[in-house]
Amino acid sequence: MLLLTLLLLLFSEALAEVPGLDAPSPASPVIAAQDILAQIRSGEPLNYDNVTIAGQLDLGAGEEPVKQSIRITNSRFLGPLRMEAVTFADVLDLRGCIFQDNVSFVKSVFQKDAKFSGARFQKQADFAETSFQGPASFISALFRNDSSFSNALFNEDAVFLDSGFSSDVDFNYVKFLRSGSFWNANFEDVSFFETQFAGQVTFRSAQFRGNATFAATRFESDVLFRAARFWKGSTFGLSSFGGLADFGNVYFKKTAFFGGVKFADLAYFASARFDGDLILEGARLYSMQLDNVSFSENSKINLNSTDFSKFVVHWSTIRDRMVYNGAAYLALVKNYKSLEWFDEADECYYQYRRIGQELAPWGWDKFSDIISWLSCGYGVRVSYTAFWCLFTILIFGAIYWAGKGMDKFEIEGMELPGNQRLKPSKRVSFTDALYFSIAMFTTSQAPVNTYPVGVYRYLAMAEGILGWFFLGLFVVVLSAVLIR
């Protein structure tokens, strides 16, 4: 035994020189893994601190439930730790331990507290299909290699506060039946595919440095992502949010995919930043708030087939980023009207018609659409119609004046029918021509002492017809604006 102990000490010193490994305290005693196993099987409680456990610690399936508490803290496990399909009836406390080889608790059951706070997993850590019936604590735990919690069950609170995952981590099909905390956690590539969060969960200030997948995840209560950072792709496709979804001040470096998502309560994205696209295609939104949200120059927002009751975002924020879809634009118009943002509803509708006109093939429909655009801005630009009214009056008045297309009677003394003292003037002034144009445009009747001559008679008739058209259109468009 003395020789074995000396060899283990030399081995531990050699490991301490390997870069990236935390060296144990020189004073920590070395305990053989077989001694730990014998003590567990004897039913004697374990209580160690700052020790080094050498060898493979294998408490495999078929063993009796571990009824005593196990407390090994601030210690180092040099060999693999394999405790698969084991039931721990009492507390398992491995806080602050360093696991230098693979760790596996597959299909194990923790009936009471499972404490892994401050633990360091240097190689693979496997908690697949594990049942945590008591509180599970992984505060400040560090997973330096691949890790898996696939199909695990957390009956009580699960705390991963300040934890770090330096490689892939798998939370697929996990059930969190109480609260979950990933506050300030650091992830590389992480997957929460079809994960269930029955209670409140927080990812506040979490860092997602790799791809973050929350596809088909069920958030049955409130979820908090406030101030989180997604540095690569983030996928929430087909997920459901039963409570408040707080994405306030979240940063999305790449595409944020929320296709097919269901928000049953408020989706709060105030002050969020999107450097990539925001995809909400096929999503169902009860209420989504995007106050003070910012997009990069090339970002797009996709609302195709999106169903929403309330979408709070100013049109100026998204006007140049919308992926064109007629139904999405019309839904936004309806949304802005329900918010009583009528000017923004008009702006949205105007852009919808302009883009539709540009995409339409040439034909009668496009021609009539162009007329609608130029004459009244598709019914939402009163200024367009007012401009054409003034322009028509001015242009016709200038034509009458420049072309000498009208004459004016100058009356000397009493005007009598057939009186020879009625003498036509040589040329009317521009003011008279403008007055004549106004009269023709508004009433289709010339003033009593002025009349058009030659071909200008037909021009005056055409101005009268245009006047009826533009004045009628002006009344209709103005009424629509005032009535609302």
Q: Return phi, psi of residue 298, to 5°.
A: -105, 10
Q: Measure the CA–CA gap between 148 and 106, rounded to whole angstroms.
A: 9
Question: For residue 24, what pLDDT is reported?
Answer: 46
**pLDDT digit string (tens) for 389-448?**
999 999 999 998 888 877 776 554 444 455 555 555 556 788 888 888 998 898 888 776
Looking at the structure, do residues 274 and 413 belong to the same domain, yes or no? no
Question: For residue 407, what pLDDT is reported?
Answer: 75
Looking at the structure, do residues 329 and 446 belong to the same domain, yes or no? no
The domain tally of the chain equals 2
What the block records as the tokens of 8 is 């283990």
**pTM of the full predicted structure?**
0.81
Q: Measure the CA–CA gap between 216 and 235, rounded to whole angstroms.
A: 10
Question: For residue 35, what pLDDT is reported?
Answer: 93
Among residues 173, 210, 206, 217, which one has the least CA distance to residue 188? 210
Among residues 209, 212, 206, which one has the least CA distance to residue 190? 212
Predicted confidence (pLDDT) at residue 18 exceeds the cutoff of 60: no
**Domain limits for position 188:** 182-359
Half-sphere exposure of 115 (CA within 13 A, CB side): 15
Predicted confidence (pLDDT) at residue 13 exceeds the cutoff of 60: no
Q: Measure the CA–CA gap between 204 and 162, rounded to whole angstroms.
A: 10
Q: What is the mean pLDDT of residues 331-355?
A: 94
Looking at the structure, do residues 354 and 450 belong to the same domain, yes or no? no
**pLDDT digit string (tens) for 233-287?**
999 999 999 999 999 999 999 999 999 999 999 999 999 999 999 999 999 999 9
Looking at the structure, do residues 319 and 431 belong to the same domain, yes or no? no
Q: Measure the CA–CA gap between 207 and 228, rounded to whole angstroms.
A: 6
**pLDDT digit string (tens) for 85-101?**
999 999 999 999 999 99
Residue 38 placed within a domain: no
Residue 476 placed within a domain: yes
Angle at the Cα of 480 from the Cα atoms of 478 and 481, rounded to 5 degrees: 65
Looking at the structure, do residues 306 and 396 belong to the same domain, yes or no? no
Looking at the structure, do residues 186 and 245 belong to the same domain, yes or no? yes
CB atoms within 10 A of CB 266: 19
**pLDDT digit string (tens) for 185-232?**
999 999 999 999 999 999 999 999 999 999 999 999 999 999 999 999
| CATH code for the domain of 433 | 1.10.287
Q: Name the band, by pLDDT with cuts 50, 70 and 90, for residue 118.
A: very high
140: left (phi over 0), alpha (psi -120 to 50) or beta: left
